[in-house]
Amino acid sequence: MRLTSLPPSFARWGRAALALCGLAVLPGCDFNFWRMDGHQTTMVTAGPVAKSQLDVFYVTVWVTFIIFILVGAVLAYATIKFKAKTEADEHAEPPEQSHGNPLIELGLIGASILALVVIAVPTLKAIWYTYDVPEELRENAYEVTATGYQWWFKFEYPNEQIDGAGTLVTGNELVIPAGRPVRVNLRTVDVIHSFWVPKLAGKVDMIPNRGNHLWLQADEPGYFWGQCAEFCGESHAVMRFRVIALSEEDFAEWLAAQKAPARTVAPAVAQAGALPQAQFASFRRNEYGFTDKWDANAAVPPLEHWRQQQFPAKDEDAALIAEGRRLFVEKTCAGCHAIRGHEGMGITGPDLTHIGSRTTIAAGLLENNREQMARWLKHPEVVKPGNLMYTTGYVANNVQLNDAEVNALVAYLESLK
């Protein structure tokens, strides 16, 4: 709770009052919510599209605020001034039975129309500006295709072709070059979804049988939160994603890494011998999937975490990874997930070729660390109710994973940097 800007006694009384209201059950909760500077805010923008939308919003706020003050003042004045003060007053001779004043009414109508014109002009300008990449920027624009699935996002890079493997595909974390306009083609394979990265651009829906698109641009390198914004079924609330904007050099480096086939740590033959025992924490349903470093007030910027995620862990166990790779096939994971260069062949689930380099798993829902990966693999139906990995994978193929197997799979997936 941040009440530090107030004098100490005020803060003390304030805390006591809040505690009385039961608000004390939220220790560490930030009550300065009117600043609206969260990870997913629309009020702090990082690109020209969101900026243009915010500018229009401020115009509407100012116009309506001024009208509210004027009309509210008259309404409040009339209410106080003409209030019957006593019982007798109520039964006094009724006031003059007047029926209106056409001049006042026409004047007010005219004034309302003028106020609306003030809003309409920037609105029209911004409608055209935000619709597609402006003509003069088009040459420099980068193109990606985002496809909605229940409940995750696939990202394709039509400009990045890989010899013998087609288009570069990734999932749930969209990496884009900073300072360049990006045109995002919006598609869906099932129901309607909506692509929304508030700091970069307002949302546009992904609708079946319809080729939608939007454009956005991140002015500086950064790490941005996004989320599906159209109700799309049971786990709509946990269909999230990230956008990572990189400088031109970093982006080129990232592309090169992504185009490479999956990383192989050890000979693809499982070592004989018992697997190491593993113990994983148990999680409550819905439990928060991130460590404190992802907090809005964390010291290290999120982009830095993303960078660290690109390097292999120091304590990799080659044998365990090899066993995980074997299990990935045995447990039928490979039927839905592609791991380019390894055995994964499926395209109905997210491409996992470089899953280890992403900061999140389960569509932006959980931090990509060992504990959370184990949680996701063990109980996907709890983390994301109704998800297809569980219903058409685990249930349909009767997949059972014990802790040791989960441990191996975690190690394998983590190694796919």
Partner 1 sequence: MDASVKSHFTGAEAPAPTRAAVFWRPTAKSGLVSWLTTVDHKRIGFLYGVFALFFFLVGGVEALLIRIQLAVPNNDFMSAQLYNELFTMHATTMIFLAVMPLSAAFFNYMMPLQIGARDVAFPRLNAFSLWTFVAGAIVINLGWFMPDGAPDAGWFGYAPLTSKQFSPDHSIDTWVMGLQLLGVASIAASLNFIVTIINLRAPGMTMMRLPVFTWMTLVTAFLIVLSFPAITIALVELMMDRLFGTSFFEVSNGGMPILWQHLFWIFGHPEVYILILPAMGIISEILPTFSRKPLFGYPIVVFSGATIGFLGFAVWSHLMFTTGMGTVATAAFALATMAIAVPTGVKIFNWIGTLWGGHLMMRTPMMFALGFVWMFMMGGFSGIMHSAAPADAQQQDSYFVVAHFHYVLIGGSIFALLAGIHYWFPLMFGRKVSEFWGKLSFWVIFIGFNVTFFPMHFLGLNGMPRRTFTYDGNLGWNAPNFIATVGAMILGLGIFVYFVVMVYTYFKGEKVKRDYWDGRTLEWSLPNPPPEYNFAVIPTVHARDAWWYEKHHREEIAREKAAHAKEDAAHGGIHMPFQSIYPFVTSVGILIGAVGVCAVDYGHKLPVVIAGGVIMLIGIYLWAMEGNEGYHIQPNEEDLKS
Residues 14-53 interacting with partner 1 (rule: CB under 8 A)? 21-23, 25-26, 29-31, 33-43, 50, 52-53
Q: Toward partner 1, which CB reaches closer, 239 or 411? A: 239
Q: Toward partner 1, which CB reaches closer, 354 or 384? A: 384
Tell me the C-alpha distance between 316 and 324, whole Å: 12
Tell me the C-alpha distance between 330 and 293, whole Å: 35
Q: From the list 16, 19, 24, 109, which residue makes contact with partner 1 (rule: CB under 8 A)?
A: 109
Tell me the C-alpha distance between 397 and 379, whole Å: 15
Task: Give yes or no for residue 143 binding partner 1 (CB under 8 A).
Answer: no
Task: Give yes or no for residue 79 binding partner 1 (CB under 8 A).
Answer: yes
Closest distance of CB 9 from partner 1, Å: 23
Tell me the C-alpha distance between 129 and 133, whole Å: 8
Binders of partner 1 among residues 158 to 197 (CB under 8 A) are 186, 190-192, 194, 196
Please choose, from the candidates 314, 341, 321, 290, the residue with its C-alpha nearest in 3D space to the C-alpha of residue 410: 321
Stretch that binds partner 1, among 88-96, 139-147, 270-278, 338-346 (CB under 8 A): 88-96
Binders of partner 1 among residues 354 to 413 (CB under 8 A) are 385-386
Contact 341, 415 (CB under 8 A): no
Tell me the C-alpha distance between 118 and 56, whole Å: 10
Task: Give yes or no for residue 323 binding partner 1 (CB under 8 A).
Answer: no
Q: Residue written as tokens 């025992």?
A: 277
Handedness of CA 314, 320, 326, 327 (dihedral sign): negative
Site string for partner 1, 265-284 (x = CB under 8 A): -------------------x
Contact 224, 301 (CB under 8 A): no
Q: From the list 47, 48, 177, 202, which residue makes contact with partner 1 (rule: CB under 8 A)?
A: 202
Q: From the list 6, 210, 330, 397, which residue makes contact with partner 1 (rule: CB under 8 A)?
A: 210
Binders of partner 1 among residues 113 to 142 (CB under 8 A) are 113, 116, 119-120, 122-124, 126-131
Contact 168, 236 (CB under 8 A): no
Closest distance of CB 263 from partner 1, Å: 30
Tell me the C-alpha distance between 406 and 414, whole Å: 12
